[in-house]
Amino acid sequence: MTTLPERTEKTLGLVIDLDTCVGCHACVTACKGWNTENYGAPLADKDAYGANPVGSFLNRVHSFEVTPSEGPAQLFHMPKSCLHCADAPCVTVCPTGASYKRTEDGIVLVNESDCIGCGLCAWACPYGAREMDPVEGVMKKCTLCVDRIYNENLPQEDRQPACVRTCPAGARHFGDLSDPESDVSKLVAERGGMDLMPEQGTAPVNKYLPPRPRDAEPELDVLAPFLAPVAEEPTGFLGWLDRTLSKVS
């Protein structure tokens, strides 16, 4: 079995703002594109429009409608990928050492050449963040785009995960969560960032910023002046114009 490092030099991860995410799936598309064309074996995507499509995704967005005790119902979107847990059970159950957590930055990765496709890590992950590639026969997962964030051939603004770079709403943030002065750490402190399923004891690195309460539904009497019906028969210049255009048509 694989052991976890006692400590890591950095704790790189994501902070996702559930109040800002609009569920557009741009992060899903960017993740699929980058990880199919670059790091590791391509993500499977066979017969996508046929009778038996197969494929794998490292990032997904789930949408939920919630009815609070007070106020109107809210729809919020929950992006989910590997959370790069400090106490990652997917690593400790791996029989070949293919799953491991890096000491230098805390990123959890899979060495695909050592993976035997046993699926133990998927069973151990309480978040369903591991995905077996049906074509390659090995386990795939979010890498935090490790081949982007350290790539000196890319402009500095592109050295972040593809999902973060492409998010049109600015709902995804990337940085070192072990640094209290980093932007992501400040966001977590200011907005009450929370762990996903903390009762599992995995100490996930990725944090979620909770949705803000929505305003109450507007009263109809406030809108009444704007809902008054227009005159059935226009008068004056508009009446003449309406009658003239009716004759032309």
CA distance 142 to 130: 8
- Residue range 107-122, pLDDT digits in tens: 999 999 999 999 999 9
Rounded distance between C-alpha atoms, residue 106 and residue 5, angstroms: 9
Over pLDDT 90: what percentage of the chain? 64
Report residue 157: phi and psi, to 5°.
-70, -20
pLDDT in tens, 172-188: 999 999 999 999 999 99
Alpha carbons 238 and 246: distance in angstroms, whole number: 12
Give the Cα separation of 117 and 8 in Å (integer).
27
How does residue 229 score in pLDDT terms, banded at 50, 70 and 90? low
Give the mean pLDDT of the chain: 89
Residues facing residue 213 across a β-bridge: none
Cα distance between residue 95 and residue 1, in whole Å = 5
pLDDT, position 224: 63
Listed in sequence order, the residues at least 6 apart from 104 whose beta carbon sits closer than 8 Å to its beta carbon are 8, 9, 10
Q: What is the pLDDT of residues 152-167, one digit of tens each?
A: 999 999 999 999 999 9
What are the phi and psi torsion angles at 30 (to 5°)? -65, -40
Mean pLDDT value across residues 218-232: 62
Q: What is the pLDDT of residue 203?
A: 96
pLDDT attached to residue 177:
97
Structure confidence at residue 20 (pLDDT): 93
pLDDT over 80 (residue 144): yes
Residues 39-68 pLDDT 10s: 555 787 877 788 888 888 899 999 998 887
Cα end-to-end span (Å), the chain:
81
Predicted local confidence at residue 249, as pLDDT:
61
Domains and CATH numbers, the chain: 12-209 (3.30.70.20)
pLDDT at residue 1, as a whole number: 66
pLDDT tops 90 at residue 248: no
pLDDT tens, position by position, 4-51: 999 999 999 999 999 999 999 999 999 999 988 765 557 878 777 888
Strands 74-80 and 60-66: antiparallel
Q: In the chain, how long is the greatest CA-to-CA distance?
A: 87
* Residues 200/208, Cβ–Cβ less than 8 Å: no
